[in-house]
């Protein structure tokens, strides 16, 4: 059997991180078994469709590295891959069910349905048109009366839903109503559309949220009515808030105990400064274990071990606190050029003009200080903002570097920086350390270099002083040294 999986979101808003998680598991399984991964847009709820949502979700999936073999933008042998473009197909299959006695046309008006709900009719509908005479049905249709098509759910007995993670889940049929398959506007509901598409697109495995398990009996009975083989159903576990209290919401943010907002929009992870490979690694750890007590692994490594059957069906807390740690690990593995280029747009977002060559100089020192890209902003502000020196003679000196010694040391540094060639870290590092040891009372460079860094950057936190000076440039370093020396006049 050729493995074919799909991700089928509705363009009713942004892509939720839980949707990315579901897509990831289907994508991993298809790639692991040499199959195909499809993107299908389920847009039949036209009232809730948001302009631009399809482009947004496709861009988000691409950012995470989840590519597809067939989809609305690239086509494929079973297209179109947007459901509103397949409306006639669903009408054909809905009418086939009617013609073969598995479904019926229901002419219940909104007023009638409201009355049924008011009377608390189970399911909000009393099946009054289920066995309606064919002649009278034809008369109502000839009069132009609007109708929906409903499926004839079995009235007794049980339906077993085969789920890969849970085995057969048994449901009593009498708890279900006759679900609508085709709406009065000619568009299908999810129950019909996804099933027809999965069959025609030869989907072998369906990964979806466990919230769909309770309505899966209608899908089982629909497959039986059509005489089609069902795909393997994989109902993924509920993702809980990090606290373990309640399901991770699509509409409401949750917060960690220290007040950190939990990101739920997929595109928020881009703007928040996370790496796609780190977020994918993070998501793969939810409900599935790589093994060997490893939480950090690449997609390639995951592909070697991943199986849908190994996913735990139990509800799982979002391990959000581990995301920053993982992201920091991936940042530390980046080379200086790659990191500088990745950081550039986040600095430009502050309104700064960024020279990547200057950034490269401080990237090795910045790696261990960053969990996300915006973490670099307070460290690197001195490179871009012309902030007046706020240090004083007192803050640039101490008992190991008295004021007169500090002034003399800074002056010697200024003379050295003016003439030294080349002006790079390898050259200035030993020389500045030697100057520091010369003027401190303990003859160690550390106390001096800390004051020099404070004066040069004007910040309590910044990269090491040698890298900071070279990144700042000779001219701006000399200006800052002049300001520092003037404090001791």
Q: Active-site positions?
A: 250
Is residue 362 within 8 Å of residue 372, measured between CB atoms?
no
Task: Please choose, from the candidates 105, 94, 103, 95, the residue with its C-alpha nearest in 3D space to the C-alpha of residue 135.
Answer: 105
How far apart are alpha carbons 249 and 261 in whole angstroms? 13
How far apart are alpha carbons 462 and 454 in whole angstroms? 8
Close Cβ partners of 233 (under 8 Å, ≥ 6 residues apart): 161, 162, 163, 164, 206, 208, 216
Is residue 149 within 8 Å of residue 106, measured between CB atoms?
yes
Reported residue count of the chain is 489
* Cα 450 versus chain centre, distance: 40
Close Cβ partners of 281 (under 8 Å, ≥ 6 residues apart): 295, 296, 297, 298, 299, 326, 330
Task: Please choose, from the candidates 233, 231, 240, the residue with its C-alpha nearest in 3D space to the C-alpha of residue 287.
Answer: 240
155 C-beta neighbours (distance < 10 Å), count = 11
Query: Both tokens of residue 135?
Result: 């002649």
Verify cis geometry, omega within 30 degrees of 0, for the bond prior to 422. yes
Burial of 287 (0-12, 13-18, 19+ CB in 10 A): buried
CA distances from 151 to 112, 128, 155, 321, 411 (A): 19, 13, 12, 46, 88
Is residue 153 within 8 Å of residue 177, measured between CB atoms?
yes
Q: What are phi and psi of 395, to 5 degrees?
A: -80, -20
Which residues does residue 205 pair with via DSSP β-bridges, in sequence order? Answer: 232
Angle, in degrees to the nearest 10, between helices 465-472 and 474-486: 120
Residue identified by tokens 């809980």 is: 240
Burial of 139 (0-12, 13-18, 19+ CB in 10 A): exposed
């Amino acid at each position: 059997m050729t493995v074919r999986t799909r991700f089928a979101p509705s363009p009713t808003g942004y892509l939720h991180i839980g949707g990315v998680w579901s897509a990831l598991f289907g994508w991993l399984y298809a790639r692991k078994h040499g199959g195909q991964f499809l993107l299908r847009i389920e847009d039949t709820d036209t009232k809730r469709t948001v302009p631009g949502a399809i482009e947004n979700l496709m861009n988000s999936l691409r950012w995470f590295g989840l590519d597809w073999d067939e989809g609305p933008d690239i086509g494929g042998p079973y297209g179109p891959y947007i459901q509103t473009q397949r409306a006639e197909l669903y009408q054909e299959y809905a009418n086939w069910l009617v013609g073969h006695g598995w479904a019926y046309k229901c002419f219940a008006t909104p007023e009638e349905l409201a009355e049924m709900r008011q009377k608390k009719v189970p399911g909000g509908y009393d099946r009054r048109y289920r066995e309606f005479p064919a002649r009278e049905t034809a008369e109502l249709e000839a009069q132009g009366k609007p109708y929906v098509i409903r499926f004839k759910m079995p009235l007794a007995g049980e339906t077993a839903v085969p789920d890969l993670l849970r085995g057969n889940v048994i449901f009593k049929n009498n708890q279900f109503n006759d679900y609508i398959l085709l709406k009065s506007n000619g568009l299908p509901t999810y129950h019909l559309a996804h099933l027809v598409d999965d069959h025609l697109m030869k989907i072998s495995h369906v990964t979806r949220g466990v919230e769909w398990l309770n309505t899966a009996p209608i899908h089982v009975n629909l497959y039986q009515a059509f005489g089609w083989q069902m795909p393997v159903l994989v109902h993924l576990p509920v993702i809980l808030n990090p606290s373990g209290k309640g399901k991770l919401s699509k509409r409401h943010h949750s917060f960690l105990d220290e007040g950190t907002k939990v990101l739920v929009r997929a595109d928020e992870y881009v703007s928040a400064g996370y790496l796609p490979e780190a977020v994918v690694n993070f998501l793969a750890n939810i409900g599935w274990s790589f093994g060997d007590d490893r939480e950090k692994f690449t997609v390639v490594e995951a592909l070697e071990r991943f199986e849908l059957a190994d996913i735990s069906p139990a509800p799982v807390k979002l391990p959000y606190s581990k995301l920053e740690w993982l992201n920091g690990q991936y940042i530390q593995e980046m080379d200086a050029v790659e990191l500088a280029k990745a950081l550039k747009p986040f600095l430009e977002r502050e309104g700064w003009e960024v020279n990547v060559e200057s950034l490269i100089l401080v990237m090795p020192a910045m790696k261990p200080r960053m969990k996300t890209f915006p973490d670099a902003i307070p460290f690197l502000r001195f490179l871009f903002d012309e902030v007046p020196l706020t240090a004083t003679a007192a803050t640039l000196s101490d008992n190991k570097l008295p004021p007169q010694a500090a002034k003399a040391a800074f002056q010697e540094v200024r003379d050295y920086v003016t003439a030294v060639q080349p002006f790079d870290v390898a050259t200035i590092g030993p020389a500045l350390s030697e100057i520091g040891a010369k003027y401190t009372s303990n003859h160690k460079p550390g106390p001096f270099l800390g004051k020099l860094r404070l004066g040069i950057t004007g910040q309590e936190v910044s990269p090491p002083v040698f890298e900071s000076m070279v990144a700042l440039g000779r001219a701006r370093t000399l200006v800052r040294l002049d300001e520092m020396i003037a404090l001791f006049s």
